[in-house]
Amino acid sequence: MTWAIEEKSYSQRRACGLIGLEPKTYRYVSTRGDEAIVRARLRSLAGERRRFGYRRLLILLRREGLALNHKKLFRLYREERLSVRRRGGRKRALGTRAPAAVPQEPNQRWSLDFVSDTLDDGRRFRILVVVDDCTRECLALIVDTSLSGRRVSRELDRIIAFRGKPLMIVSDNGTELTSHAILRWQEERAVAWHYIAPGKPQQNGFVESFNGRLRDECLNEHLFRSLPAARTIIGAWRVDYNTCRLTRASAGSPRTRLQPGPDRITTRTDSGYERGQTGGKVRCSVTPRHFRRRSEMSYGRYLSRQKLK
């Protein structure tokens, strides 16, 4: 087009007619804004939170004042090759399943579990995970090479000192959680302790779901050179989880209201480690997704039957 107009002195209409192009298409000027800033920030956020998909990245960008359509962001997300690779699959149970009851108030039920990982020199360490099943807060991530029943009871006492006593604690049948120290602690504190059935981790689904996020977003993303470094990194991730991380139960809003927590009492194994702050209250009384789908399906069947009548 440019060659025909400048070299042959053809009119714009004649040059467009020779190649079968509409003149208005040739004169069109794109009004799309500069996407360099959005692309750069998108790459930066994706690098900081490597396991976040485009939906959660969109919420983070909107918080920073960038007005974006989800379809446009998805196009940029694909062009930048930022898609999150899925890690393996999971076994799905067959038959009917009843959803677990969700506590309606904080401190109604806590969940406990252990997670294992290794340092770069091959030494193994364990993490005691304590989660509030209602607010989904991570109350503690205790990192050490050995966590006995007495140590678990001391950590629970420290949490209760600033958080309050729970009505029930749910855990598996590990030797640390069935020891005499824990049994004596239950009786002295008058806290109900429920042990799940052996080989049924789905009965403790809240903490198991948290363990998956902890391993996916923190443990698999860092190389721990020492135990103090592991405590620092895991503690910082816990604070970020309780304050900034997006949650489906709260409809994409983060936990922003913090509850004050005292500094951790240091011991020989806990030197140089300070506890962060726990997250605020988040109301989690939401209807499960499969219940909503079932109700919508039933209503659609009702309308179709009314039309047939």
Confidence band, pLDDT 50/70/90 cuts, at residue 290: very low
pLDDT for the residue numbered 307: 52
Confidence at 169, pLDDT banded by 50, 70, 90 = very high
On the question of pLDDT at 256 being above 50, the answer is no
164: pLDDT strictly greater than 60 = yes
Please report the pLDDT score of residue 90 as a whole number.
Answer: 55
**Listed range (79-88, 191-200, 224-233) with the worst mean pLDDT:** 79-88
Q: Kindly give, in sequence order, each residue whose CB lies less than 8 Å from that of residue 155, ignoring residues fewer than 6 positions away.
A: 128, 130, 140, 142
Q: If pLDDT is split at 50, 70 and 90, which confidence band does 270 have? A: very low
| 110 has a pLDDT exceeding 90 | yes
Residue entry with tokens 């140089």:
272
Q: What is the pLDDT of residues 29-80, one digit of tens each?
A: 877 777 888 889 999 988 888 888 888 899 888 888 888 889 989 999 998 8
| Region of poorest pLDDT, from 95-109, 163-177, 262-276, 291-305 | 262-276
Q: What is the pTM of this model?
A: 0.63
Q: What is the mean pLDDT of residues 104-126?
A: 92
The pLDDT, as a whole number, for residue 130 is 94
Query: What's the pLDDT at 258?
Result: 42
For residue 231, pLDDT over 50 is answered with yes
- Report which listed range, 10-24, 95-109, 263-277, is most confident: 10-24
Mean pLDDT of 225-236: 93
Q: Give the tens place of pLDDT for each residue, 116-145.
A: 999 998 999 999 999 999 888 999 999 999
Asked whether the predicted pLDDT for residue 106 surpasses 50, the reply is yes
Q: State residue 7's pLDDT score.
A: 83
pLDDT of 3 strictly over 60: yes
Over residues 249-276, mean pLDDT = 41
